[in-house]
Amino acid sequence: MTRALGVCYYPEHWPEDQWPRDAARMAEMGLRYVRIGEFSWSRIEPQQLNWGWLDRAFDVLADAGLQIVLGTPTATPPRWMLDKPPDMLAWDAEGRPRAFGSRRHYCFSHAGYKEECARIVTLMADRYGRHPALAMWQTDNEYGCHDTVLSYSPAARTAFQAWLARRYGDIDALNAAWGNVFWSMVYDSFDQIGLPNLTVTEPNPAHVMDFRRFSSDQVVDFNRLQVEIIRARSDAPISHNYMGRVTEFDHFDVGADMEVATWDSYPLGFMDEGRGKATEAMKREYARQGDPDFQAFHHDLYRAVGHGRAWVMEQQPGPVNWAPHNPAPLPGMVRLWTWEAFAHGAEAVCYFRWRQAPFAQEQNHAGLLRPDDAPAAGFAEAEAVAKELRDAPEVSAGQAPVALIFDYQAEWMWETQPQGQGLRYFDLAYQTYKALRRLGLSIDIVPVSHTDFASYAAVFAPGLAHVSADLAAELRCCPGTVVMGPRTGALTADFAIPATLPPDIAGFGVTVARVETIRADTPRALQGGGAATLWVETLEGGGDVLLACDDGAPVAVECGGGRIYVGAWLDAAGQDRMLRLALAESGLPLLDLPEGLRVRETETERFWINYGAQPVQFAGREIGAADVLREGVEVAV
């Protein structure tokens, strides 16, 4: 796999006589890809179709030897669209339509808007689908950004009722599955069912869960509509640009229809917003670098969503404009983030954006160029990576030794009924990922549909609230270590406690008799160090106790055959102890990395990545501040 750089560009923002100079400069600095078009609907179709400017933009970029990623413009329907299907707007949970004047203001369930999307995508694909400079498509832009998946509009209610009728077939089946005998919530017909908002107190969790599944399916269907139109008219691969910690829809389901997954990487903005749940001390220490694991987690996640193919479609090159605080990256970090993406298998990294816009909402968002065309701070670092890539070998991410199962439906279950303040599945999965990285391990993130665990030394499945029979069977056959819990197998697909009690998985030989959620400031100390916090289960059954609280209550139990159940949310010290105990027989080399230093191995290279603001010494190596050290690795023959 070759590695390349690109940039996001908006020719409609700049005078046409500037386009050739921009294109030549992009090519000169070593960029290969240019993404255009994703916000251009009002220029393409102010009222009548106007393709001329986009034709000329294609020609200018192609003449400079650049390859084009073309975005469909459906994330920003123009103002006249609201006069055509006036009820196309999404509604928030308070029952208010979301107004025009920004972006992503449509409802995924509105049939009329989907017809308009099909029309414009068809026209775009007919015109550019076979263009020789077209490298890839991007559908829409950032599904889920700005909390736009869950819509409570009349269109969503009608579509939800139809979705439920297809799922259950009979209203009595729905009543039984949801447990509607509770609180006299029984329905006589599907058209009586509303959306789970504006209820007096919490709605039925099974109702909420089905609404979350429905809402995700609406995104899948909306995306598939565009993919099928494009695929009939173009041989170029199709992608979508996902975001960091956006879990309102199942990215694996959306990605199943496309060849490549891309995502938008904004390390400083994400950390300052709290998406990785960094402590205040960590936010201060890494304010100009970002969380050392957040980007890596998403690189690994989207590599799985993209069937092994992933890009960074938008890489932060300087201060952003949307976080609570927007510092400049530490010198070296733009280069580090780029090489880190390549270390995790990215085929391309595209910077957002070419030139800082002097107007509208993002005018304080840095680009590679300042508004006066002078290079911004990130320009030189991107140019340096382009030069380094000329001598870099082709690389394959390969398979990591450890798998982490990630499930969007588990996130919805935890969010629907967290049982305690601030408890989220994403945080549990992410903290497990971080702990594995602190031990120097490379990780594959896989979906619950994964069917080949045989070659992994260890598989981790924290917090999978529901485990299907198929996944349980796969894990029983896994020859490596399997670590599950807490809350794994705690619910049926219909959001009920299983009759056999959790974890409802044959072969684990342990029963969760009781669940407590406890305050963060009342942790329960573990024998030997570390603590159980937030979520604590009372475990019954056999097995060897690996970790126990000071009072002797088991926290982690080895149930035989390398099957381990963890019955508590552990702090960092407890997590590290648990992982070392769980992996003691795995044969994996476990490191004790200094704070901020991470390592990632591919089939041919080892990358030492220092997120710290100071150089670090480790195992005879010195890795500079905000720097990446690349080493070749021996390839087994």
Strand-pairing partners, residue 565, are 484, 557
Indicate the SS3 state at residue 53. Answer: helix
Distance between CA atoms of 408 and 205, rounded to whole angstroms? 16
Q: What are the helix (H) ranges across 306-368? A: 333-343
Q: What is the CA radius of gyration of the chain?
A: 25
The crossing angle, in degrees rounded to 10, of helices 408-416 and 205-231 is: 150
The secondary structure element, H or E, covering residue 221 is helix 205-231
Distance in angstroms (rounded) separating the CA atoms of residues 88 and 497: 39
In b/e form, how buried is each residue of 19-44, taking b as 16+ CB within 10 angstroms? beebbebbbebbbbbbbbbbbbbbbb
Contact status, residue 563 vs residue 507, Cβ threshold 8 Å: yes
Task: Give the count of beta carbons closer than 10 Å to the beta carbon of residue 298.
Answer: 27
Burial of 446 (0-12, 13-18, 19+ CB in 10 A): buried
Between the CA of residue 589 and those of 364, 454, 457, 586, what are the distances in Å?
45, 19, 11, 9
3 state DSSP class of 548: strand
**Residue that has been written with the tokens 């670098």 in this structure:** 289
265 and 316 Cβ atoms separated by less than 8 Å: yes
Q: Three-state SS string across 442-467, please?
A: CEEEECCCCCCCCCCCEEEECCCCCC
d(CA 63, CA 23): 9
Angstrom CA distances, 322 to 170, 217, 599, stand at 47, 29, 30
Beta bridge partners of 262: 241, 311
**Phi/psi of residue 311, each to 5°?**
-130, 160
User: Do 195 and 163 meet the contact criterion of CB atoms below 8 Å apart?
Assistant: no
Pairing of strands 616-618, 621-623: antiparallel
Active-site option among 314, 411, 474, 601: 314
- Per the structure block, which two tokens stand in for 385? 């990576």
- The rounded distance, in Å, linking the Cα atoms of 578 and 556 is 8
Q: Which phi and psi (to 5°) does residue 601 adopt?
A: -110, 135
Is residue 559 within 8 Å of 507, Cβ to Cβ?
Answer: yes
Sheet holding 627-632, edge to edge: 597-601, 605-610, 627-632
Q: Count other C-beta atoms under 10 Å from residue 587's C-beta.
A: 9
* Active-site annotation holder among 38, 116, 142, 411: 142
Is there a contact between 368 and 376 (Cβ–Cβ < 8 Å)?
yes
Respond yes or no: is residue 622 known to be catalytic.
no
Q: Is 314 annotated in the active site?
A: yes
Give the number of other Cβ atoms within 10 Å of residue 176's Cβ: 14
DSSP bridge partners of 71: 138
CA distances from 283 to 403, 468, 599 (A): 28, 38, 21
Known catalytic residues are: 142, 314
